Structure 1
Amino acid sequence: MRILRTDEDRFADLPGYPFTPHYLDVESGLRMHYVDEGPVGASPVLMLHGEPSWSYLYRHMIPIVAAEGYRVLAPDLVGFGKSDKPASVNDYSYDRHLAWLTHWLKALDLWNITLVCQNWGSLLGLRLATELPDRFQRIIVGNGMLPTGEVRAPATFSVWKAFATHSPWFPVSRIVQLGTERTLNKYELAAYEAPFPTTEHKAGARAFPKLVPISPEDPSSSANKAAWKVLEKWRKPFITCFSSGDPITRGGDRYMQRRIPGALGQPHITLRGGHFLQEDSPEDFARIIIDALKAEIAA
């Protein structure tokens, strides 16, 4: 496996992203970057990004939650952000991403975790939580799901998968902008491009759509079905925080609310925004997290 590493100079002086970098090898020669803000001994809030974003997506939310006394961790998935990037699309698989994240989580010895996940962060985070349930205290999902291939994927996803697989042009910042209602400024657009100086660096972003199970025969379908069996007995807090303008995940919040016992009586909310609600409603999203954490103390 040939591994690429984005030059640190490309991340210099990013707007709103002053965080000290942290790194951990998740296998020999493969380095994962993560943000780690707030008191080390505090309850951890794990923020998982999706595609084709990175921890920069959570830049407005991290300091708000950390300021309330919580430890906020936002890793860059392998292939994204400041993390290393295997150069071939074939180097990426659902199981490999889970193995890398699991190694990272166990190496940091995280417990009592509040999971905050969106997009592929949900596909990975919900599997993590169901495979390591004792480590997770609550789950907050924004514009995400855990597909098994039994429900037909939206037409918009099929178009996206074809584009990511076959298009010679893969403009990361424009893709993020298409999923965001507010207009990103030139510095923000440049920040989303920063991890990807060449086409080869984008292999991880191109790989993700093909890894989503869209039929029961897909390799990850059975494992995701097993995860759903755990979720259907999940009684810890499960909160959905979807946006009003995401055609890909629309309706997924109500589906999870019906199937997951821990969702009963929780303060589910629909926020204004597109697919990347962290860009459109970051303060409101952060408040949902803080209120959920404080509700435990009050109880």
Structure 2
Amino acid sequence: MADLPPHVVRTPEARFANLPEWPFAPQYLTVDTPGVGPLRVHVVDEGPREADETVLMLHGEPSWSYLYRRMIPPIVAAGHRAVAFDFPGFGRSDKPTEAGAYTYELHRTVLLDVIRQLDLQNVTLVVQDWGGLMGLPVATLDVPDRIARLVVMNTFLPTGTETPTFGFRAWRASVRLLGRRLPIGRLMTMALPDRQKPFVPAYTAPFPSVRYKAGAARWPLMVPMDPTDPVAEIMVRAREALAIWDRPCLLVWSKADPILGGAHRFFERLVPTAEPPTFVCGGHFLQDASGAEIAEHVVAFVERT
């Protein structure tokens, strides 16, 4: 690990050995990030590179690309390219140890560089949780020419003017209190249905100690709670772009999400092309409980549009 920038750690590969339902060999890109330097970013890139359609899936907090393990195979089986990656601080990607390193611009830079390094075109962008806060602004403001469709799942675009749900206020307060002591295993155990609890160790694998948790402890606190927050301005611009979005948009939602279970109504009103929402089982991490079913909806959506 001598090639790592100062104040960056890398989860040992042994932590990811024999993960259930994870047959994908790791691939890595190097991204030069603002204020940190070069970071190694883990990418899953399956299916034919020459495929006409690419499905790019973005994870949120505190998950990683493992969340999409049940969606990737059906998408590839349909003949499409399936791409997922881990944002810095998560999964197999490098993890700065200083909380201040995690900025919106850091994550935006990584997302844009992954798209450009892999030369992703005709993208169906799948977003959930912080994947939406990152992906929807980038899709609509930075690379709209590369985006063919949007699939929006249990996310939001907060501008600091809304009253957060009780579930989010409680979540944010606990993260602020616990910081790097955030019990990710307990969190995932509470969030996943009983039948999914055997997969909790895969979600804790990236975090062998508190030193690796700066990104997980930082993301919830980056959600804008005041309109003067710089991230709030980005969310406002993304809302404006989505209000005139003219490409297909699929909403897939789990009503059982205690934080964002009703947010589908916001996107129904905002996006002119949004189809009536498709509801699936699961809580906040609906991909884990219903990934194969969601993949069927995504493939059908791509084919009919």
Interval containing the TM-score (normalised by the shorter chain): over 0.9
1:146 aligned counterpart, secondary structure: coil
Matches of 2:295 and 2:192, distance apart in 1: 17
In structure 1, give the amino acid aligned to 2:262: G
**Contact kept in structure 1, 2:189 and 2:197, CA below 8 Å:** no
Question: Is 1:276 paired with 2:285?
Answer: yes
Q: Is the 8 A contact 1:182 1:280 kept in 2?
A: no
Tell me which residue corresponds to 1:92: 102
Match in the other structure for 1:250: 261
SS at structure 2 position matched to 1:52: coil
Q: CA RMSD of the aligned region, Å?
A: 1.3
TM-score, normalisation: structure 2: 0.93
Q: What is the one-letter code of the residue matched to 2:205? A: A
Q: Which residue, out of 175, 199, 204, partners 2:187?
A: 175
**Matched residue of 1:57: which SS?**
helix
User: What percent identity do the matched residue pairs reach?
Assistant: 43
Q: Which residue of 2 aligns with 1:227?
A: 238
| Segment of structure 1 superposing worse, 205-214 or 164-173 | 164-173
Instruction: Go from structure 1 to structure 2 and tell me whether the alpha carbon gap of 1:96 and 1:120 turns closer, same or farther (over 3 Å shift).
Output: same
Shift of 1:80: 0.3
Deviating more after overlay: 70-79 vs 26-35: 26-35
Q: Distance in 2 between matches of 1:290 and 1:176?
A: 28
Which one-letter code corresponds to 2:194 in the other structure? R
Q: Is the 8 A contact 1:88 1:200 kept in 2?
A: no
SS of 1:45's partner is strand
Contact 1:241 1:270 in 2 (8 A): yes
Q: For the residues of structure 1 that align with 2:108 and 2:294, how far apart are their CA atoms?
A: 25
Contact 2:268 2:276 (C-alpha < 8 Å) held by counterparts: no
Shift of 1:189: 1.6
Structure 1 counterpart of 2:91? 81
1:54-73 alignment runs, 5 A limit: 54-73=64-83
- Structure 1 position 200, deviation (Å): 1.1
Q: Is the CA contact 1:79–1:201 (under 8 Å) kept in the aligned structure 2?
A: yes
Distance 1:51 1:101 in 2: 15
Q: Deviations over 1:219-261 (max 9, x none)?
A: 2111111111110000101111010201211221111111111
- Residue correspondence of structure 1 range 116-131 to structure 2 within 5 A: 116-131=126-141
Paired with 1:234 and 1:146, the residues of 2 have a C-alpha distance of 15
* Deviations 1:7-30 (CA, angstroms, capped at 9, x unpaired): 111101111101011111111431
Name the residue aligned to 2:3.
none
Aligned length: 293
Aligned mates of 1:222, 1:203 — CA distance in 2:
24
Structure 2 residue corresponding to 1:164, chosen from 166, 175, 193:
175
Instruction: Report the counterpart of residue 247 of structure 2 in structure 1.
Output: 236
Which amino acid is 1:200 matched to?
A: R
Match of 2:192, SS state, is: coil
* Deviation of the 1:177 alpha carbon: 2.5
SS in 2 for 1:157: helix
5+ residue gaps, structure 1, are: none
The residue correspondences of 1:1-299 to structure 2 (distance < 5 A) are 1-27=6-32, 28-42=37-51, 43-131=53-141, 132-167=143-178, 169-186=181-198, 188-263=199-274, 266-296=275-305
Q: Distance in 2 between matches of 1:240 and 1:179?
A: 21
Please state how far the C-alpha of 1:62 moved relative to its aligned partner: 0.7
Tell me how far apart the structure 2 counterparts of residues 185 and 124 of structure 1 sit (CA, whole Å): 28
Whole-angstrom distance in 2 between the partners of 1:73 and 1:163: 32
Unmatched tracts of structure 2, length 5 or more: 1-5
CA distance in 1: counterparts of 2:126 and 2:188, whole angstroms: 19
Q: CA deviation at 1:267?
A: 4.9
In the superposition, relative to structure 1, how do residues 253 and 100 fare at CA in structure 2: closer, same or farther (>3 Å)?
A: same
Q: Distance in 1 between matches of 2:202 and 2:47?
A: 23
CA distance in 1, matches of 2:99, 2:301: 38
| 1:116-150 Cα deviation digits (max 9, x unpaired) | 11111111110111121111000001111111112
Contact 1:68 1:290 in 2 (8 A): yes
SS in 2 for 1:162: helix
SS of the residue corresponding to residue 155 of structure 2 reads coil
